[in-house]
Homo-oligomer: A and B are copies of this chain.
Amino acid sequence: VRPLSGKEEAVWRELMRLLIVLPRALDADMADSGGLSSSEYIILVSLSEATDGAMRMVDLAARSRLTQSGATRVVTRLCQAGLVIRRPSKYDGRGQVAVLTSTGLAQLRAAYPGHLASARRRVFDGLEGTDLEALSAALRRIAADEPIDQRTDRIRP
């Protein structure tokens, strides 16, 4: 395999730095402001965007890009905190559905301003004058994987 060119090397280093530094910074911000971890936040956002604030565990795992077991763990935490409720699927005896509670929605809304500020500060403040379309296009090509289709609580094929 051909070694990295100088420019590639530069991209690689920045990318590796980002992978370490950015999650830490964002998580620290979140801990300060809302008290929600990033995984918890993703789960809540996913639920809030779904119909009736409800999603099956598999879909939730796919959407949040956690393992199924990881999703189970996070949802368990959120249930204990009263932000989410678990109920069995009506259509599939194997299925469990996580449902966002009103408390959960409230907490999510309360966390939003902090997250926004964090995104601005850590990412977009530095990107004034950058071609954002080119940037997101480039990022989209890195570690590209299949898009995640929206599914519903039904029996699966």
Contact = CB atoms under 8 A, between A and B. Distances in A.
Contacts of A65: 17, 20-21
Interface range, A side: 35 or more
A116 B14 contact: no
Contacts of A25: 143
Given A1-B120, A4-B119, A10-B132, A15 B139 contact: yes
A142 B4 contact: no
Contacts of A145: 21
A139 B126 CA distance: 9
User: Could you say how many copies of this chain the assembly holds?
Assistant: 2
A133 B135 CA distance: 12
Given A11-B135, A136-B7, A144 B126 contact: yes
Contacts of A23: 19
A7 B117 CA distance: 17
Contact of A138 (B1, B12, B130): B130
Nearest to A19: B23
Contacts of A124: 4, 8, 11
